[in-house]
Structure 1
Amino acid sequence: MRFFAPYLIGISSMLPSALSLADDDTKEVETVSVIGTRQAYQGAFEYKEVPAASQEIDLELIKDAGVLNLSEALDLSATVARQNNFGGLWNSFAIRGFAGDENLPSGFLVNGFNAGRGFGGPRDLVGIERVEVLKGPKAALFGRGEPGGAVNLVTKRPEFEKGGEIRTTVGSWEQLRFETDAQTVLGEDENVGVRLVGFFDDAESFRRTVETKRVGFYPSIAWEASDSTTVNYELEFTRQELPFDRGVVSLNGELGIMPIENFIGEPGDGDIETEVMGHQLEVEHELWDNWTLLTGLGLRDTTFVGFASEPNFEGRQTLFLDGRTLSRFRRFRDFDTEYAVVRAELSGEFSTGTLEHRLIVGADLDRFENDQIILRGRPPSIPDGATLDQLDLDQYLVLDILDPVYGAVPLLELGPNTDRLEVQKAWGIYIQDQIDITEQFQIRLGGRFDDFSQDIDNRRATPVTTTSQSDSRFSPQVGAVYLVNENTSVYATYGEGFRQLTGSDFAGNAFDPNKSESSEIGIKTDLQGFFDSVSGVATLSLFDIQQSNILVFDDRPEASDGFFLRPAGEAESRGIELDINAQFPGNVEFWFSYAFIDAEYTNANPDANFGATIEAGDPLINVPENQLSVQLSKGFTSLGVPAKVGAGVLYVDERLGQTASDFFLPSYTTVRAFAELEASRDITLRVDIDNLFDEEFYTNSFADIWVEPGAPRRFRFTAAFKI
């Protein structure tokens, strides 16, 4: 608790002053209209007018599903597949089969800002209003990013109200969690809204010796400076202490032999400490009718520091000698990132003859600095034909995976491994025009020009060497929408994109960017047009994405004196998706998301990590062909007391667990359930059960000895108090 005391005191000291401003319900409060709700890069379009599929996981669905972090929220979208999450220390996911750099967290946006960069730890959802899964080609507006789509988190901002809620959760493995969300209004004209959101979470886990401590504070201020101008400021602070947990190992490709409760790290290493401090400032100004200028500034610093003991691979792995003695190597990491972005966007409507235009024009400038220091100690290679009793096991940092005894062997001494500073700078300008050709037919034309540079300082070299590159790219997008009637539309879209790659080849030259081409067709419908008593939307989409310049092992003769990479891999992802978000009579909420994704390499190359041969047609790692997520809930009144019950199902097909191998993670189905009761006007009680049938399952992996197990059955009890 001492770890959190300074932050809890700070949060609690702010709450009384905020709550003292909250008036009784009987006092009339002047209604203030909030205009600062426009999202950068997205414009103002009805859902059926956008030539791309998307999903909105709103706050009500987040609560019904009982999710607490971003990874759990994205499980609701069948389009998104979990990827190797670096020992549980960041969010990593693939959209429509494609993921980003496996050595960096997956990039996600916060209110349109690229806030996924850096090493701030896994994202908690306490300060999030909704999670948007924006599918398809986005590079024409968002710029450098992933080909499958983008994830955008929309934060909780002041709503010019007074009141709030405090939530207390206790759960399995001694979980203790507190959340607070308080709002008030300031100023004589009540034109300043303040919102204070924070959380504290301390929990053990089903993994032996594994405990996490996390705290976050997310205050925001909205100022309605005039009838036409709104200013929003948000702060993001999160600090986490998390063990580096590589999961479990398989034996001869078989999972379940090693108990999922056994931790294969070393508690003596201590925790990895992560911290993030971020700021967002946005000013929205209505210039004249239907024209708006949105400007913004984002700053985000992250740190990641700590030791970790991790399983060795192949020729240094003693596990292969007796089936239970695991050898490990040890690393110390000290990562520090700084990210800054400024942007401006003008949007509005105009006419040229009989054509109606909705225009978005913008520009952004960003700088990302990634400072990494890694120390490493690892055992020697195992001689051919050696047996376990012929080795000095003190050199191998061994652990019995079936009956672990921690601290039994000395920790390995560390030496230099990586000392690198990478600085990426970029600026871009973009334009999008959606044109109403007729009352039913619209076309979207868009494009973005990016100019970027990259400098990498290798500080291990003597003298220090610097690798630099610069490039410019144009990313086009074209789309069409046909409004069949007032409830249904069909659409098609095509776009190109790119993503910068970190590192350099054997000659010290920076890699060419990863490139992609994406196409999509689909149909969207408003369900109320078919069923008078049903509301909601449904989308059916088909997509095809081709990606090139994927990093693979460089086996050319000129690169044979070391382990180097080159951008030569190619892959394709094709699939079909069906998403339904509906509300039925009787206060019934229904969420359905299904995706079939065929993601595979289209050329042969050596794998970037182990050098094994990837054949054309091999699947991409951690991407299931079939994935399904369903959530159903019903509200009702019993004995005059409002209540709600619900359940959810997640099915994930088998997935490749190690690139260029025949190791697959088995498919799984998990069920969750909840019941909620409004005990009084101000108190709500809730119970959640996750993995109701206690299935043993595995969510993702990097290799057969780095596999993340899912949690067994878990109970949580929550009490929410209105303030």
Structure 2
Amino acid sequence: MKDEKGFKKCYLATVLTALLSVQANASTVAQEPEQGAKDIERVTVIGARQAYRGNFATLETPQSELSLGSGLLEDAGAFDLSQALDLSSSVARQNNFGGLWNSFAVRGFVGDENLPSNYLVNGFNAGKGFGGSRDLAGIESVEVLKGPRAALFGRGEPGGTINLVTKRPNFEEEGYVRLIAGSYDTYRADIDYTTPLSNELAIRLVGFYEDAESFRDTIETTRQGLYPSIAWQINDNSQLVYELEYSHQEVPFDRGVIAIDNELGLIPPSRFLGEPGDGPMEADVLGHQIEFQHEFNQEWSALVGVNFRETSLEGVATETGFGDVINDEINRFRRSRDYDASYRVFRAEVNGEFELGGLRHRVIMGIDSDKFENDQVFLRVRGDQFINVFNPEYGAYELPELGPNTDRLTTEESVGIFLQDQISVSDNIDIRVGARFDDYKQELNNRRNGSIVNQSESRVSPQFGIVYKSSEALSLYAAFGENFRPLSGIDANGDGFEPNQSSSLEAGIKFALDQGNISGTVAVFKVEQENILVVDDPVAFTSAAIGEASSQGIEIDLSGEVAADLFLWASYTYVDAQTENEFFDANFGFTVEAGSPLLNIPEHQLSIQLIKSSEISGKPVEYGGGLLHVGDRNGFFGTDFELPSYSIARAFVKYDLSSELTVRAELENLFDETYYLNSFADVWVQPGTPRSFRLSATYRF
């Protein structure tokens, strides 16, 4: 593995050297006036299409969607995916695996608790690996696509899908360098530069480096990433884009704080109960994407793409156990993880429209395949490793030797074909019908005992929707869809599981007022899910697919210019998410009653941003702030332990000193509230950051 990581870094250096060399050569050519640069006819880049999406306006789409653009993300002070998703009240934070991955629930439902939440990058499956928390460097926008999407995307989460749209090369030279300093010795540098190399070629180089301490005792992190890309405008109708993704993170494993006798706050949010001597976990990503887009004519286009992404996570951590605090001490155990994952994805689709029988048809059809390999070697030792929760003494015990626990390779492969047709039956009414067929197989190779379990499934995922456009500013819609998600692991007999199944109903109103300056959606939804995994034997690491749950609620999303130079973003969700059946959870040894609330899902969640643009001394200034309210949530599934509600505010001001130089100051958690983001149990609770500041300077060129 170490040799492989060295190869990855050498490969990255080679790519960077090549890109910089090409850019330098292009700059030299650009300085030679005899080349007739003034007479060059600039090739216009064709509009980039999103995979599986087609060409549909917001008001004619029978599902709720949110697009979080780069400007909104900057105003919100968001640097990673979890912070970005706080802007959508439909998304609730889940257990983040000690700060080492993104985990979230959409409309009340989360995926496999033993894997990061899956997300897409330009339509490619990408989130299930072990590359650490996703930074927003290189991301143009974050899309929250609510409701089931299996009819097009394939296997996924019942509540919705998150898609990241990356920054790609432009045929105009531009860029910026940004330097940031903040509380807890946080320092960060970002670069984003794009330039044409010729009439047909353009490159973009995006990267970041961050070094930060924390309000958490002994915790220090380093993160870096690089996202170069190149676009080839083959002709007026065809374009080829290649993108590289590289990141490396060193993050100590941090399970957070504990509640004592069901009460939080008896120890400070800064208290670290792990062992600093374990050192940080290391997470790495090396990914490649290549997409070819071709416009046959104004009505028909094709999109073909390939993705290959490798991730790894390794390190050792000492974690609090699930026992009680006795004589001010709690027991701990020590675990080592060596995880590797690879994702290979291919897709091809055709989009177009035609008239048949006097009706307009807009179709998306295609085929895709993917292969996911999840290689886990897991060591563990339990013992008398106590720590005083009120007065911790790090290094009090010699770090114990680890013993074997898990050694397995899980391989998932699938092929899917899909077809969607949106039929305009009149000037005001569209009907959407679609279906996807997936052929899926899974192999579970338990290298520790030599057993191999194979399983295969075939599933059809349908969707139906209707849109009534009552005017140019208002439409009503309704939709139904089914979804499935494969389950990892084995049962007590060593067999795999039937997939997790769900169905969803949704209805809503979309509007675009004041000539489109104010837009929004009001939606109601209901999602039902069955075959949810629960722990059957925590020692043998077996599970049972016996859980059933449902969620229902209402969402309101609103954004736009509500007054002169005053911009509003508001998102509110009420959701009631609970179990539908009674079952025994062997992980903790108690029965979970029907009607129990799902973990980390608040009934009420609200996100608001208000931004004012103005001038000082004839130069642009922007100021504003935001509020995030998260209601009470269950903090330990099947018990009455709750995380308290919280409301945190932020404020910022941004001033353009010149057309090139911008300075910015921001305050997070303005009123210094103590709050808790998520938990897995009462001994693994993630506290939120106290009041903090950040200063930045951005130079654009």
Give 2:404's aligned residue.
416
Write the letter of the residue equivalent to 1:398. Answer: F
> What secondary structure does 1:48 align onto?
helix
Aligned in 2, Cα 1:676/1:12: closer, same or farther, shift over 3 Å? farther
Write the letter of the residue equivalent to 2:650. Answer: R
CA shift for structure 1 position 611: 3.3
Write the letter of the residue equivalent to 2:111. Answer: G
Give 1:334's aligned residue.
338
Aligned in 2, Cα 1:654/1:448: closer, same or farther, shift over 3 Å? same
Give 2:353's aligned residue.
349
Q: Give the alignment partner of residue 420 of structure 2, picking from 425, 429, 432.
A: 432
TM score, norm. by length of structure 1:
0.92
Work out whether residues 291 and 305 of structure 2, in 8 Å CA contact, stay in contact via their aligned partners in 1. yes
Equivalents in 2 of 1:449, 1:110: separation in Å?
A: 22
Equivalents in 1 of 2:330, 2:182: separation in Å?
A: 32
Aligned in 2, Cα 1:8/1:361: closer, same or farther, shift over 3 Å? closer
Please state if 1:713 is matched with 2:691.
yes
CA shift for structure 1 position 345: 0.2
Aligned in 2, Cα 1:192/1:9: closer, same or farther, shift over 3 Å? closer
CA shift for structure 1 position 260: 1.0
Equivalents in 2 of 1:280, 1:619: separation in Å?
A: 40
- Give structure 2 stretches of 5+ with no counterpart: 1-5
Please state if 1:528 is matched with 2:532.
no
Give 1:676's aligned residue.
654
* Range with greater deviation from structure 2 (396-405 or 212-221): 396-405
> What secondary structure does 2:74 align onto?
helix
Counting only pairs closer than 5 Å after superposition, residues 125-524 of structure 1 correspond to structure 2 as 125-187=136-198, 190-314=199-323, 319-322=324-327, 324-379=328-383, 396-461=384-449, 464-524=450-510
Write the letter of the residue equivalent to 1:238. Answer: S
CA shift for structure 1 position 480: 0.3
Give 1:382's aligned residue.
none
Equivalents in 2 of 1:536, 1:150: separation in Å?
A: 25
CA shift for structure 1 position 159: 1.8
* Range with greater deviation from structure 2 (284-293 or 447-456): 284-293
Task: Give CA-to-partner distance per residue, 1:445-504, whole Å, 9 cap, x none.
Answer: 00000000000111111xx11011001000000000000111110000000010000011
Question: How many pairs align?
Answer: 687
Work out whether residues 23 and 197 of structure 2, in 8 Å CA contact, stay in contact via their aligned partners in 1. no
Equivalents in 2 of 1:600, 1:226: separation in Å?
A: 54
Identity %: 50
Please state if 1:603 is matched with 2:581.
yes
RMSD between aligned residues: 2.1
Equivalents in 2 of 1:195, 1:625: separation in Å?
A: 42
Task: Give CA-to-partner distance per residue, 1:357-399, whole Å, 9 cap, x none.
Answer: 00000110111110000000002xxxxxxxxxxxxxxxx2121
Equivalents in 2 of 1:674, 1:538: separation in Å?
A: 25
Equivalents in 2 of 1:20, 1:664: separation in Å?
A: 61
- Give structure 1 stretches of 5+ with no counterpart: 380-395
Task: Give CA-to-partner distance per residue, 1:21-78, whole Å, 9 cap, x none.
Answer: 5779x99785542225101111110001110001110011011111100000000000
Equivalents in 2 of 1:289, 1:167: separation in Å?
A: 40
TM score, norm. by length of structure 2:
0.95
Equivalents in 1 of 2:231, 2:578: separation in Å?
A: 47
Give 2:534's aligned residue.
552
Aligned in 2, Cα 1:372/1:588: closer, same or farther, shift over 3 Å? same
Write the letter of the residue equivalent to 1:257. Answer: L
> What secondary structure does 1:71 align onto?
helix
Work out whether residues 172 and 716 of structure 1, in 8 Å CA contact, stay in contact via their aligned partners in 2. yes
Aligned in 2, Cα 1:11/1:201: closer, same or farther, shift over 3 Å? farther
Give 1:388's aligned residue.
none
CA shift for structure 1 position 615: 0.9
Work out whether residues 19 and 182 of structure 1, in 8 Å CA contact, stay in contact via their aligned partners in 2. no
Counting only pairs closer than 5 Å after superposition, residues 81-160 of structure 1 correspond to structure 2 as 81-160=92-171
Write the letter of the residue equivalent to 2:225. Answer: G
Equivalents in 1 of 2:234, 2:15: separation in Å?
A: 28
Equivalents in 2 of 1:368, 1:268: separation in Å?
A: 34
Equivalents in 2 of 1:561, 1:523: separation in Å?
A: 50
Task: Give CA-to-partner distance per residue, 1:302-355, whole Å, 9 cap, x none.
Answer: 0100000001113xxxx4322x21211000000001110111001100010210
Equivalents in 1 of 2:422, 2:587: separation in Å?
A: 44
Write the letter of the residue equivalent to 2:73. Answer: I
Please state if 1:51 is matched with 2:59.
no
> What secondary structure does 1:216 align onto?
strand
Work out whether residues 565 and 608 of structure 1, in 8 Å CA contact, stay in contact via their aligned partners in 2. no
Task: Give CA-to-partner distance per residue, 1:410-462, whole Å, 9 cap, x none.
Answer: 1122100000000001000000000000000000000000000000111111x
Give 1:639's aligned residue.
617
Write the letter of the residue equivalent to 1:345. Answer: E
Q: Give the alignment partner of residue 668 of structure 2, picking from 681, 690, 695.
A: 690
Equivalents in 1 of 2:491, 2:289: separation in Å?
A: 36
Work out whether residues 22 and 197 of structure 2, in 8 Å CA contact, stay in contact via their aligned partners in 1. no
